Amino acid sequence: MFERRLFREEHEMFRASVRKFIEKEIAPYHQQWEKDGIVPRELWLKAGAAGMLCCTIPEEYGGLGLDYLFDVIVFEEMARSGFTAPGFMIHCDLVATYIKSFGSEEQKKYWLPKMVSGEAIGSLGMTEPHAGSDLKNIKTRATRNGDSYIIDGQKVFISNGQLCDVIVLATKTDSSQGAAGITLFLVDTSLPGFVRGKKLDKLGLKGQDTSELFFENLRVPASAMLGTEGQGFALMMTKLAQERLAQAIRSAVVAETAIDWTVEYTHNRKAFGGTIADFQNTQFKLAELKTEAVIGRVFTDACIEKFMRGELSEIDAAMAKMWLSNLHCKVVDECLQLFGGWGYMWEYPIARAYADARIVKIAGGSIEVMKHIIGRSLYRELAGRESVRPISSSRDKGEGDKPKGRAAA
Amino acid sequence: MLKPRAVYGPEHEMFRDAVRGFIRAEITPHFERWEREGIVDRSYWQAGGRAGLLCPQVPEAYGGPGGSFKYNCIVVEEIGYAGYAGPMTDFSVHSDVCAGYLLNAGTEEQKRKWLPRLVSGETVCAIAMTEPGAGSDLQGLRTRATRDGDRLRVNGAKTFISNGQHCDLVIVVARTSDAPGAKGMSLVLVEADRPGFRRGRNLHKLGHLSSDTSELFFDDVEVPLSHIMGAEGSGFATLMSELPQERLIIAFQSMAAAQRAFDVTCEYVRGRKAFGQPLADFQNTRYKLADLKADLQVGWAFADQCLERHLRHELSALDASTAKLWCTEMHGRMVDQCLQFFGGYGFMREYEICRLYADARVQRIYGGTSEIMRELIARNL
């Protein structure tokens, strides 16, 4: 077996405390939260007090200034528990990271301490009803008006949509432009003109308050802008690798965990005078899945290391996200089958894991977008060789998800 | 709309129209509520009876319309194609499975008593095979029906029973002797109003939300010996002869639902634009849909061929297992690949493809898992 070499003793101590937190503060209530379609705010405050939110935020902004592996541990332990209701990943990995990386001093000082404590919950407003993968095509407008901007538009599929206090919102400040017309704002949801739409009824992730959001004549000061005008798309591109890595991290753990559950179940489940585990089919299926889970683990950990050295490319991250998402879905499907009728019953974690899984091939960049990024890079390399010109590393930046040609999506 | 196929004549298409009318009037207005409540209204059953949708294969002598099993297929195809998996399974278990057992294994008295009530919807029927500790392994069943003078005492627990909350009559697979393996198994008719019969929870499932799938408990339930179907100890043999029909109808359920998933997806990709063109124009979309279309063509051809064989009493266990295995596996691939084209909307329950995806997963499990189908096919090699 491949030993994981990423973590040191302090990480493992933190891991133990995260597990304890999940056992005590999440496990007993998760079923209720699934019914409610939302978690209580107190959970966020408790998670903040336990040091589980935004571990990498520097001390000057109220954080602990820990390394990325502490965030990884939170994502991993949440994934291992099978509890998907609290939307910590979006909050920590995306929203806090955006503010930390692109925010003004004032924005950082205002929002980050509250995000670390769980007092302010973050969400990311990108997708719109008519623009998912095709992000450049968003319609939400931010129009300059004196020293403020007026925001009008609509977002959909927004995680933490009912709870969020702050949104990193993608808008168009210049509708004549594609990517270059996109600007990010940090929107305080207590402002007039911010309207929460309905909480969406989903296949899985039942405890997450995924919602529609509306912006009606919402006035924000120019100082709420994140980065500069027209810079939004480029900023988002620089964080995509991190976002996709986090998803691979989660999927790698779900795959491992579903296999563990299934090994245990098939070992105990009696049939035909033995157990399900006695069948060659069971052992061979699980052997294939386990092998793939180990390959996925090794690649994911290699990507984590690369990321921490600042070397994880958009292509590495796309490969990790695509391969681990596919594996995640394949594992829950094949494992559910080995549970027979119980696999279809919501009370079994494998049934919920199956329902939760299907979004991972879609959210955070669909499989098709990942293929596009990887496929495009192959020809770009070839073009570089033919012209005997070194490819500058900046060529991959700033263009991101810009499919060209008919084979794109 | 499902296209006409050579296996059906004009009389079938007229019936199909009537089924469509029934769906519009009796299912569509209530379906969302039923999904929320986890059960259909009792009036759905009576309406189905009035409209002639229940047990269309039952002969006139037993109060039925005396149609062929093709009419059963049409009911399943149409409700399945409408995307109403829960109501579809409810009827299918009652008409295609339970009525089949009564017709082919019931005594004359049992047929005369129960079949007219199944046809009218006055009695809702369920069949109880699976137990908490035994699903695929029918010989591992523990529920017992013990002889006590001229009575049987039924004891045991069943689970995943379709129509478990509505049923008035349950065909219980139980052990009537300690004869080893299959020999000690009998089918026993148990009415739901007998003392000691208890309905357990209506189980919360991944899909088929409006179908009442439940646990059932039998605590010293007394029935007369005349409630044994066929001869005592013949239960396993009856199961073996009736399971092919159940597997054939599941293949049709999957074909209809897969066709629906494909059709709604074709419509969606034509309308949805990304990167300046309809999704339908991307080569990836076109090739994936081409594969799925080929799967549908092959599946319908094989299923229809099996249906013809079934009507000639020539459908083998091998044919039925092959149809169930291939059509339900194809159904699983279909809903997964179709959902992907819907992006984030595919994960939202208000989109039909999302429900079709959740509903599909059980097809590879109930009525004999894919593994059991492979086992049966492999035995014939």
Q: Which of A124, A58, A117 is nearest to A90 (CA)?
A: A124
Which residues of A belong to the active site? Answer: 243
Q: Do the Cβ atoms of A347 and B273 come within 8 Å?
A: no
pLDDT in tens, A264-273: 999 999 988 8
Topology at the third CATH level for domain A234-396: Butyryl-CoA Dehydrogenase, subunit A; domain 3 (1.20.140)
Count CA atoms within 13 Å of residue A115 on its CB side.
35
pLDDT in tens, B247-298: 999 999 999 999 999 999 999 999 999 888 999 999 999 999 999 999 999 9
Q: Do the Cβ atoms of B348 and A408 come within 8 Å?
A: no
- Residues of A in Cβ contact (< 8 Å) with B374: 281
A201, B35 in Cβ contact below 8 A? Answer: no
Q: Do the Cβ atoms of B279 and A203 come within 8 Å?
A: no
Q: Is A127 in the B-facing interface, judged by CB distances under 8 Å?
A: yes
Query: Averaged over A214-230, what is the pLDDT?
Result: 97
Confidence of residue A2 (pLDDT cuts 50, 70, 90): confident
The residue written with tokens 């020999």 in the block is B183
Query: Averaged over B148-170, what is the pLDDT?
Result: 96
Q: What is the pLDDT of residue B230?
A: 87
A375, A406 in Cβ contact below 8 A? Answer: no
pLDDT surpasses 70 at A399: no
Bridge partners of residue B203, in order along the sequence = none
Q: Is A341 in the B-facing interface, judged by CB distances under 8 Å?
A: yes
Topology at the third CATH level for domain B126-232: Butyryl-CoA Dehydrogenase, subunit A; domain 2 (2.40.110)
pLDDT surpasses 60 at A395: no
Q: Do the Cβ atoms of B344 and A351 come within 8 Å?
A: no
The alpha-carbon gap from B283 to the nearest alpha carbon of chain A, in Å, equals: 5
Q: What whole-number distance in Å separates Cα of residue B138 and Cα of residue B185?
A: 9
Q: Residue B127 belongs to what H/E stretch?
A: strand B125-128
Q: What is the pLDDT of residue A382?
A: 79
Q: What is the pLDDT of residue A391?
A: 44
- Which part of chain B is CATH 1.10.540.10? 10-123
Q: What is the pLDDT of residue B107?
A: 96
Mutate to test the interface with B, among A154, A198, A344, A404 (most CBs of B within 10 A): A344
- Residues of A in Cβ contact (< 8 Å) with B348: 157, 200-203
Q: Which of A81, A60, A77, A95 is nearest to A11 (CA)?
A: A77
Mutate to test the interface with B, among A362, A369, A373 (most CBs of B within 10 A): A362
Q: What is the pLDDT of residue B139?
A: 80
Catalytic: which of B215, B246, B352, B371? B246
Point out the least confidently predicted range of A316-325, A400-409, B312-321.
A400-409
Query: Averaged over A163-181, what is the pLDDT?
Result: 95
pLDDT surpasses 90 at B140: no
Q: What is the pLDDT of residue A403?
A: 44
pLDDT surpasses 60 at A397: no
Confidence of residue A401 (pLDDT cuts 50, 70, 90): very low
pLDDT surpasses 80 at B205: yes
pLDDT in tens, B27-55: 999 999 999 999 999 999 999 999 999 99
Pick the CATH number of A9-120 from 1.10.540.10, 2.40.170.20, 2.40.110.10, 3.30.450.60: 1.10.540.10
CATH superfamily of the B10-123 domain: Acyl-CoA dehydrogenase/oxidase, N-terminal domain (1.10.540.10)
- Residues of B in Cβ contact (< 8 Å) with A362: 340, 343-344, 346-347
pLDDT surpasses 80 at B119: yes
The alpha-carbon gap from B98 to the nearest alpha carbon of chain A, in Å, equals: 20
Q: What whole-number distance in Å separates Cα of residue A40 and Cα of residue A48?
A: 13
Q: Do the Cβ atoms of B204 and A271 come within 8 Å?
A: no
Q: Do the Cβ atoms of B365 and A134 come within 8 Å?
A: no
Q: What whole-number distance in Å separates Cα of residue A161 and Cα of residue A167?
A: 9
Residue B246 annotated as catalytic: yes
Tokens describing residue B108 = 């004359």
Q: What is the pLDDT of residue A12?
A: 97
- Which part of chain B is CATH 1.20.140.10? 236-379
Q: Do the Cβ atoms of B206 and A406 come within 8 Å?
A: no
* Angle, helices B10-22/B69-81, rounded to nearest 10 degrees: 40
Domain ranges of chain A: 9-120, 124-229, 234-396
Bridge partners of residue B13, in order along the sequence = none
Pick the CATH number of B236-379 from 1.20.140.10, 1.20.120.1780, 3.30.360.30, 2.170.190.11: 1.20.140.10
Mutate to test the interface with B, among A332, A356, A368, A371 (most CBs of B within 10 A): A368
Confidence of residue A386 (pLDDT cuts 50, 70, 90): low
Q: What whole-number distance in Å separates Cα of residue A160 and Cα of residue A169?
A: 13
A5-37 as b/e, with b when 16 or more CB fall inside 10 Å? eebeeebeebbeebeebbeebbeebbbebbeeb
Q: What is the pLDDT of residue A385?
A: 67
Interface of A with B in 190-249 (CB under 8 A): 200-205
pLDDT surpasses 90 at B135: no
CATH no. for A124-229: 2.40.110.10
E runs forming strands in B129-258: 144-148, 151-162, 169-175, 185-191, 197-202, 213-224, 228-229
Chain A residue nearest residue B361, CA to CA: A344
